[in-house]
Amino acid sequence: MTEALAKVREELGPEAIIMNTRSEKKGGVFDFVGKSMVEVTAAVDEKPLDGKNRGGISARTAPISPTEARQYPPDRPVSYEQPSRGGYHKPPSEVEIKALGERLDLDHMMDDIRDLKRSVKAIADNSLAGDMDGLSGNPRALLTNMRNAGMEDKIAKRLIRQIINELSAVELADSSVIAKKASELLLEGIGEVSPILMAGAKPRIVAFVGPTGSGKTTTIAKLATDFSLHTGKKVAVLSIDTKRVDAVGQLKAYCRIINIPLFIAYSPDDLPGLMPGIMNSDITLVDTPGSGPMDRQQMMEMVEFLQKMVPQEVHLSISVTTSLADMKKIFENFSLLKPNRILFTKLDETEYYGTMISFAIISKKPLSYVTFGQGVPGDFALVDPPGLIRKILNGKPNQKNDYAPLR
């Protein structure tokens, strides 16, 4: 070690600063046995004295790396530099300072927005099990409109929760953005509109089922008149509703006026004899008897009728004046008949459409037509889900002219 220090002084001069010394052995297995080596790291101050550098070392000599400094004797003089703490940075300009301030303001604003959204979510999540009393602003107004329109509370709350989850706090502050999002979600839940399909094998047999008083017979008269007058198709009507007083008489009058054939089946056994006339038509509309949830025998009789007719479409007719709870019972009761469309009647007898939209979402069946009066022809149309939804979301009641006739 003494010899090494002496050599450093000899090479760098008496002002040399010893930075580090280390002893080690080289040459043995895993360095446990071997020749002793001494490593010295030294530096010298380059500040000139009387116009010259101490030790006669040029001030322009570049410092060497620590690796080179470990070599002894060094290939070139060793110099020492104070370790940098990040280096020199140019002071920021006024423009940069202003931009930084604006960015910090934006960051703070975004933090506030995120906090607000988290608060709204927490309120909504906590309220879904209760009355949502803590909800405020546009989400609260939307929920109120849906409740007033008769939407099922569970569906309305789920809709609010999804809107809060998917929109930012800034978007939640915009009522038009919320309404658009709500409309998209409701349309997705309702699904496609599916009117009677005039295609495929002939005849197209379309049955209409539903409870007594739901408007099946009048609806069939509307559709039969429209198809006969505007599509050029051969239309026939088949009635199996023979137990209700004057049900067949009403259809006879309609069919005589529009000059289309009417077939009557009093039992499933009558169908084979009627089939040649039915097969001559392009479309046959089937009127069925109304059935209550307790009339199991009549329901099974209708099942037998439909099994022999094999209709391509079965439209479940429901009055919009029916409560949602009763709609669910009707749907369950008529599920034996495998309805694949929902048809709503009597829209002119209600101011709000929330119940029908809720049932459409719950039933997961496509909608076909709506009726809104007793006029034949007329007073029926294809379902317009966007129009119905707008009425629900804006809280405005139904107007008489909301629906225009199909033709």
300 belongs to a structural domain? yes
- 219 and 349, same domain (yes or no): yes
Tokens representing 105 are 């303001």
Asked whether residue 86 is domain-assigned, the answer is no
Rounded to whole angstroms, how far apart are CA atoms 100 and 96?
6
Nearest by Cα to 62 from 47, 48, 80 = 80
pLDDT digits (tens, 9 = 90+) for 75-117: 544 444 444 444 445 666 666 666 666 666 666 666 666 666 6
Phi, psi of 275 (to 5 degrees): -65, -35
pLDDT single digits (tens) 372-391: 888 887 789 999 999 889 88
Dihedral sign, Cα of residue 302, residue 306, residue 309, residue 313: positive
Same domain, 22 and 121: no
Q: Which residues contact 267 (CB under 8 A, 6 or more apart)?
A: none
Instruction: Specify whether the CB–CB gap between 45 and 61 falls below 8 A.
Output: no
Q: Global pTM?
A: 0.66
Distance of CA 334 to the CA centre of its chain: 31
Integer Cα distance of 77 and 62 in angstroms = 9
User: In sequence order, what are the residues at sequence separation of 6 or more whose Cβ sits closer than 8 angstroms to the Cβ of residue 294?
Assistant: none
pLDDT of residue 206 exceeding 90, the answer is: yes
Same-domain pairing of 159 and 209: no
Number of domains within the chain: 3
| 3-state SS, residue 225 | helix
Residues 232 and 376 both lie in one domain: yes
Predicted confidence at residue 354, as pLDDT, reads: 92
What pLDDT sits at residue 80? 41
If asked whether residues 158 and 180 sit together in one domain, one would say yes
The token pair that represents 273 in the structure block: 């004899």
Confidence of residue 25 (pLDDT cuts 50, 70, 90): low
Residue 232: the pLDDT is 80
Longest dimension (CA), the chain: 132
How far CA 164 is from CA of 125, 151, 169, 183, 404, in Å, comes to 10, 18, 8, 14, 35
Structural domain ending residue among the three candidates 135, 159, 190 = 190
Domain assignment present for residue 405? The answer is no
- Among 190, 225, 245, residue at a domain's last position: 190
For residues 60 and 101, membership in a common domain is answered with no
* Structural domain that includes position 255: 204-394
What integer best gives the mean pLDDT of the chain? 78
In the predicted model, what is the mean pLDDT of residues 264-272? 92
97 or 343, greater pLDDT: 343
Tell me which of 156, 190, 224 is where a domain ends. 190
